[in-house]
A and B are shown apart, each in its own frame.
Chain A
Amino acid sequence: MMKIIQKTGLAFILMLSLSMAALTAPKIYALKVDGLACPFCAFGIEKRLGKIAGVSRLRTDIKAGRIILTMKDGAVLDPATAKRAVKQAGFSLRALEQIRPPAQAPAKAVAKKPSL
């Protein structure tokens, strides 16, 4: 009986910690921006978005016209603030969505060069 209680308790603690981790994990957003067509311009928009409170990381994919924005733990991106920042940089925000962080890719095995 004690063993069942112990196992149930452990399972509960594990589920609770997983839920807490999911809740506090940094939120990631994808911003689809119109007007983005050169690297120098991309930096202008990154500067404006980087000034939003809670933003920890930005990555621009210029071909897709998409900016991946990672917030600090617990911070949330306000869509109106994001739209204003994009406009201040001279561009237009077409769409904003929260995305899941990509699953951790397994480390690739690196083939060693044969020594000569």
Chain B
Amino acid sequence: MRRTRSARSRSWLCRLTMIGVIIGWTTGASGAPITVTTALPVAEGEFMVREQIIFNHGDSDPKTKARERTARTIVSVLAYGVNSDLAVFAVVPYVSKSLKAGASAIGRHADGLGDMKIFGRYTLFKNNFNGGSFRIAPVAGLKIPTGNSNRRDALGRLPISVQPGSGSWDPFGGVVITYQTLDFQIDAAISYTVNTGANSTANGFKFGDVSRLDGSFQYRLWPGKLGSGTPGFLYGVLEANLVHQQNNHVNGIEDAGSGGTRLFLVPGLQYVTRRWIAEAAIQLPVMQNLNGMALRDHYTARAGLRFNF
């Protein structure tokens, strides 16, 4: 019984770690991509804020629904332009996670402040031209264990997958490339997260490292022809996320029944004005090659706002 619960817990971990990683990478405050960051600038000495609501649903088997999970997250992002090339970001999630497992559908639930992320983005190369820009910017940061990773309920300590925090300090880094014109924008990003397990309260548990490749294409749908002034732009957005997670480790031993590779497609819409951006997208799994009993994603719905101050 204990082994079964442990396996379920670990498969959950895999899913929720990915949610965390997705949240962490959706922090572009300046441009149009929704699930990817961007290399577009944050003006020196200026702030931007992004608020995003994310709803994720998945289960072990769509027919039996033996295990079902939902995760609701509100992500707040604050961006600050240190200078025209360097911007720093703080990402604070508030999470609400639920897991129903077994025939009796026992529910475990937790909510609270999740793990905060801070990172910096430096524009290594930029080519500004008439009506567009091409930029390459490395990104590096750290996930800080600000979320509680030792929550309990009447049944005892919650599975680590339901805990609001991971309990570990995890560095991450990557590169983002952006090509923007008046008609369309393309963003591509590659990133790697080292899940350390350091200071974890999860009894020797360590998530597998996560590598991901993201792409975003945004096309201006309206206005079809640009006139004078600065009208709002309606973009159609299509993004793709390829996410691979290595096996988790329990007390130093690799868990072969964890980790795996997922590919998501993300259609969405975005309305961009001078002062604010409103956006919505749905992240749909098109390939889930998972190890062991990992839970499969059904969808992740996202809606958000960004503000220029």
Contact = CB atoms under 8 A, between A and B. Distances in A.
Interface of A: 34-48, 59-65, 87-92, 94
A42 B83 contact: no
A10 B130 CA distance: 51
B9 interface: no
B44 A89 contact: yes
Nearest to B123: A90
A63 B228 contact: yes
Contacts, number: 107
A30 B231 CA distance: 19
A32 to B, nearest CB: 8
Interface of B: 30-32, 40-46, 81, 83-85, 123, 126, 128-133, 180-182, 185, 226-233, 272-275, 277, 306, 308
Chain A interface main SS type? mixed
B132 A62 contact: no
Q: Which of A40, A46, A92 has the most CB of B within 10 A?
A: A40
B87 to A, nearest CB: 9
Given A44-B308, A91-B128, 11 more contacts: A34-B128, A37-B185, A38-B233, A39-B273, A40-B277, A44-B30, A46-B274, A60-B230, A61-B228, A63-B182, A89-B44
B46 A41 contact: no
Nearest to A59: B229
Contacts of B277: 40
B228 A38 contact: no
Nearest to A48: B43
Contacts of B229: 59-62
A58 B246 CA distance: 52
Contact of A88 (B31, B44, B182, B273): B44
